[in-house]
A and B are shown apart, each in its own frame.
Chain A
Amino acid sequence: GAVVSQHPSRVICKSGTSVKIECRSLDFQATTMFWYRQFPKQSLMLMATSNEGSKATYEQGVEKDKFLINHASLTLSTLTVTSAHPEDSSFYICSARVPGGGRYEQYFGPGTRLTVT
């Protein structure tokens, strides 16, 4: 149980274009999902918390107009990188928490490697 998928796994786009990444909880409903980015050989940094039916909460320093998050259903959150630039190239990983039970354990998707040329 507690499987999270991401699509696509890898994407290459040209500078100035937008890219959408999907995160799905496959066997549970996730009221809360999270988006992280990871640069090579570095740790994961939380970008934003996505709540179903409400606006995402962004971490300090993350541009909300550049990284659009939509959590339209209990099993799907999307991250759109708008007007991508080479510095946005990174590994983007989503996670979801199984609600209830007082546990805060997060389960992670396999990640999306974005390369902006």
Chain B
Amino acid sequence: GIQVEQSPPDLILQEGANSTLRCNFSDSVNNLQWFHQNPWGQLINLFYIPSGTKQNGRLSATTVATERYSLLYISSSQTTDSGVYFCAVGRDDKIIFGKGTRLHILP
């Protein structure tokens, strides 16, 4: 099956810093999503991005499907950005989650 690797596993930053999270995958996909899991466990949809580039406020994402990776950019980090960021990839309906990047933003 498809393998998904996220890096870095952990990231500690000062408020206001920028960060780049990476998601590598082992096979061609037509389904790729980025999520933020908040401290209560709720998964928040950030981007549905099987290819291309999207932006939403301070967040943006780029997927280069031919090279099998996706990047999530967070600019001007806020403490509310803390939590775990998951990349999930797959073909059609079935998606496989990476292990996540645990982000901690210090005030």
CB-CB under 8 A from B95, the residues of chain A are: 46, 104, 106
Task: Decide yes or no whether A107 CB sits under 8 A from chain B.
Answer: yes
Q: Determine chain B's interface SS by DSSP, over half rule.
A: strand
CB pair A105 B94 closer than 8 Å: no
Task: Decide yes or no whether B19 CB sits under 8 A from chain A.
Answer: no
CB pair A44 B86 closer than 8 Å: yes
For B, the interface residue count at a CB cutoff of 8 angstroms equals 22
Known: A97-B93, A105-B48. 16 other contacts (CB 8 A): A32-B93, A43-B99, A44-B43, A44-B86, A44-B97, A46-B96, A49-B93, A49-B94, A104-B48, A104-B93, A106-B95, A107-B45, A108-B43, A110-B40, A110-B42, A113-B41
- Residues on A facing B (Cβ under 8 Å): 32, 34, 38, 42-46, 49, 91, 93, 95, 97, 103-108, 110-111, 113
